[in-house]
Amino acid sequence: MKLFGRELFSFKREPVPMYDFAQHGLLNRMGSGPIYFEMTTATQAPEKEKKEPKKIFITPKGIYEMKSLNAHDFVIRTDAEYLKEQIECIQDKLDFLGKEKKPKKSRWDEPMAEYGGVKYGRKELESIKERLENRMRIGEFKTIIDKYPHTTSELMNEVVNKDSNLRCERADTFIPDFPKDAINAMKEYNCICKELCNKTAIFYVIAQSKDFQQVSNRRDPILLAQSPFGFFWQILGAWDAQDMKYLGDL
């Protein structure tokens, strides 16, 4: 594509997704303690099975309506001195990491490319710095930001781990079934991110575990978006089986 005259100054890169700060197991963490094996012999009497109390599972929409995910005292700090201090601290950390090492085309004396903790540590620092810088413009989007309640990864983990029938994953597989108001909320949130930093939003859902495997059935998810202002979330809505659009019915 060739650009001429004024187009050279107005050209914008195609938006890319924001950094997904939950991609490395921030959610759905499982216990990793030691595993013990018990030896039994034929002379030992088998233990009687203990009857566990019947669990009552709450649907995602029920959790949404009870506001179990809402961080009621949540505050986004936007004072200039705080932002300046935090951004400078993050930049100092990036400076200590030095320039990102990238593999060269030559096979000889090639420096090792960054990987593992260093690679993703750098990405997280760069992303939180960008999100803190975005806060300087948060007033421009107050109407939309105030529209949706905030939540944290800690609260999401608490809810998901408490109710063993729930999982939290990227929203991609649910998009075909989402009702119109869910898609409108995603479009609205995407617009914020594009205007702020020319990036697209990251969306997750909390749903029943079976809903991630049985995609041909009606499902009931909670839709969440990663905030462009920090490593926290906004709850865009929840829908039950009656709300979702099963494509087989169209």
Whether residue 135 is predicted with pLDDT greater than 90 in this model: the reply is: yes
Q: What is the mean pLDDT of residues 144-154?
A: 92
The per-residue pLDDT for 164 is: 72
Q: What is the DSSP letter of 91?
A: H
Please state, as a whole number, how many other Cβ atoms lie within 10 Å of the Cβ of residue 163: 19
DSSP calls for 185-243: HHHHHHHHHHHHHSEE--EEEEEEGGGGT-TTS---PEEEEE-TTSS-EEEEEE--TTT
Question: Which candidate, 149, 160, 161, places its Cα nearest to that of 60?
Answer: 160
Question: Would you state the structure tokens that stand for residue 166, as one six-digit string?
Answer: 């729930």
Model confidence over 39-58: pLDDT tens digits?
333 444 455 565 555 454 56
pTM for this prediction: 0.75
Would you say 250 and 237 are in contact if contact means Cβ atoms under 8 Å apart?
no
At residue 226 the predicted structure's pLDDT band, cuts being 50, 70 and 90, is very high
Model confidence over 163-194: pLDDT tens digits?
777 889 999 988 888 888 899 999 999 999 99
Q: Which of 74-78, 92-96, 144-148, 238-242 has the lowest mean pLDDT?
A: 238-242
Q: What is the mean pLDDT of residues 200-225?
A: 82
Across the chain, mean pLDDT equals 77
Q: pLDDT higher for 68 or 138?
A: 138
Q: Which of 21-25, 113-117, 154-158 has the lowest mean pLDDT?
A: 113-117
Quote the CA–CA distance of 190 and 203 in Å, as a whole number.
10
Q: At what angle do helices 116-134 and 80-97 cross, to 10 degrees?
A: 160
Would you say 237 and 185 are in contact if contact means Cβ atoms under 8 Å apart?
yes
Quote the CA–CA distance of 203 and 234 in Å, as a whole number.
10
